């Protein structure tokens, strides 16, 4: 679909969804973002848009010489990883519970951590240089905890899945971020930004920014990029651990080159011939040829996509289906029996503890994909047969 343009306060708002489908609180957030004096060109709004803490989920904000830590959010670097295997659906056993159990044993979920460090040289480059940056971080996060959380899933909407594409090929896909250390770093810098004098008159103090060439900005950039790297490495470790589970059952299995993408992050990019800091809060980069992952809910399936490089979206696309109702509302409206019915055929948790992740709490992923046909092209559609959640 073509973007709908709404007049904002300082810059326009471009939406890849119908304005009437954006909840009132989210639209108010978008207008507050558009009022920022540092906002560049327009605010790009993805079709999975919904209200979020700090800034709207599904928003792409380009700013000149400024960045808002709350707009990035507390799960710095949250994103997706996926890899196609040589396995076919016919290779999998009829009962998938054992594979699910072994994945849960290999990758700690929820608040659990590895008892020993799980990463090594197979995973993601120079670990010595990476951990060498830990001591310079703000916030005082426990080093041992950061070490043992590397390669862990967490909870909420994070997941690990075994999926089938339309040709019945087996994929592994997962969703996670920077775990506890990213959360602590984000909260530390958000608190600092809120107290800076130049943010005193903003329409929403949650959108407080750091300005370029200040000590506060440099400290945030250092911690931000380290946390984004932590999140990327975390997904790489988990992907290797899950693939090892499959390799243990199918010794001849081979895997393609993995796909990995952040969807809560900042990147320094050039758009409309201008150097800007782009915050994608619930959005992936979709430059021409960029491979991306757009997941649905735990019962509906997901998409592998290729970016079309649309300049009006700041070369971005949605990060998923997007919630249609809050977790609290979902828990009140649906039961474990509803969850079991909506995840029929998927080997997954079906208890009250994950009712807030029920498919009906999310938007229609197929419609979300249709609404961004000018942002990405579909490479593959996946349907999960196993879903692991914390």
75 is in an annotated binding site: yes
101 is in an annotated binding site: no
389 is in an annotated binding site: yes
Burial of 225 (0-12, 13-18, 19+ CB in 10 A): middle
Q: Tokens 């997901």 — which residue?
A: 302
Instruction: Pull the structure tokens for residue 364.
Output: 């229609």
Catalytic residue among 31, 188, 189, 319: 319
321 is in an annotated binding site: yes
158 is in an annotated binding site: yes
160 is in an annotated binding site: yes
322 is in an annotated binding site: yes
Burial of 17 (0-12, 13-18, 19+ CB in 10 A): buried
Instruction: Pull the structure tokens for residue 237.
Output: 């470790």
> In sequence order, what are the residues at sequence separation of 6 or more whose Cβ sits closer than 8 angstroms to the Cβ of residue 180?
141, 145, 146, 149
Q: How far apart are the first and last CA of the chain?
A: 36
3-state secondary structure of 293: strand
161 is in an annotated binding site: yes
320 is in an annotated binding site: yes
Q: How open is the CA angle 232-236-237, to the nearest 5 degrees?
A: 120
156 is in an annotated binding site: no
The secondary structure element, H or E, covering residue 103 is helix 97-106
Calculate the dihedral angle through the C-alpha atoms of 204, 209, 211, 215, rounding to the nearest 10 degrees.
Answer: 130
218 is in an annotated binding site: no
Strand 39-50 and strand 12-15: the pairing is parallel
58 is in an annotated binding site: no
183 is in an annotated binding site: no
54 is in an annotated binding site: no
**CA-atom Rg of the chain in angstroms:** 20
What is the C-alpha to C-alpha distance for residues 238 and 81, in angstroms, rounded to an integer?
9
386 is in an annotated binding site: no
Instruction: Pull the structure tokens for residue 167.
Output: 């040709």
93 is in an annotated binding site: no
Q: Tokens 């978008």 — which residue?
A: 30
Q: Would residue 319 show up in a list of annotated catalytic residues for this protein? A: yes
Q: How open is the CA angle 35-317-366, to the nearest 5 degrees?
A: 120
319 is in an annotated binding site: yes
Please list the active-site residues. 319
Annotated binding site for Mn(2+): 75, 158, 175, 263
The annotation places the binding site for GMP at 157-161, 263-264, 295-298, 302, 319-322, 389
Q: Would you list which residues are annotated within the binding site?
A: 75, 157-161, 175, 263-264, 295-298, 302, 319-322, 389
């Amino acid at each position: 679909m073509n973007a709908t343009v709404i007049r904002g306060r300082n810059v326009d708002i471009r939406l890849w969804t119908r304005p009437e489908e954006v909840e009132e609180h989210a639209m108010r957030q978008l207008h507050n973002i558009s009022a920022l004096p540092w906002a560049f060109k327009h605010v790009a709004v993805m079709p999975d848009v919904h209200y979020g803490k700090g800034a709207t989920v599904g928003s792409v904000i380009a700013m000149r010489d400024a960045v808002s830590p709350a707009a990035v959010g507390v799960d710095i670097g949250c994103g997706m990883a996926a890899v196609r295997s040589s396995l076919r659906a016919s290779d999998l056993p009829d009962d998938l519970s054992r594979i699910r159990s072994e994945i849960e044993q290999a990758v700690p979920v929820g608040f659990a951590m590895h008892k020993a460090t799980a990463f090594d040289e197979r995973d993601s480059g120079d670990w010595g240089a990476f951990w060498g940056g830990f001591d310079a971080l703000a916030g005082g996060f426990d080093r041992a905890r950061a070490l043992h959380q590397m390669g862990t899933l967490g909870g909420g909407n994070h997941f690990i899945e075994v999926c089938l594409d339309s040709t019945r090929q087996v994929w592994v896909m997962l969703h996670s971020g920077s775990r506890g250390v990213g959360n602590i770093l984000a909260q530390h810098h958000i608190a600092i930004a809120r107290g800076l004098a130049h943010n005193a008159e903003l329409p929403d103090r949650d959108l407080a920014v750091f300005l370029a060439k200040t000590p506060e900005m440099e400290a945030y950039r250092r911690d931000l990029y380290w946390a984004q790297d932590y999140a990327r490495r975390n997904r790489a470790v988990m992907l290797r651990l899950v693939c090892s589970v499959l390799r243990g059952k199918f010794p001849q299995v081979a895997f393609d080159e993995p796909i990995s993408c952040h969807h809560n992050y900042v990147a320094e990019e050039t758009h409309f011939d201008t150097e800007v800091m782009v915050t994608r809060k619930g959005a992936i980069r979709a430059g021409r040829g960029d491979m991306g992952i757009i997941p649905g809910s735990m019962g509906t399936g997901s998409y592998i996509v290729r970016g079309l490089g649309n300049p009006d979206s700041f070369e971005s696309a949605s990060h998923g289906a997007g919630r249609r109702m809050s977790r609290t509302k979902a828990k009140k409206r649906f039961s474990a029996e509803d969850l079991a019915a909506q995840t029929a055929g998927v080997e997954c948790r079906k208890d009250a503890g994950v009712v807030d992740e029920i498919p009906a709490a999310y938007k229609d992923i197929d419609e979300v994909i249709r609404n961004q046909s000018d942002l990405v092209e579909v490479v593959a559609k996946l349907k999960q047969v196993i879903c692991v959640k914390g």
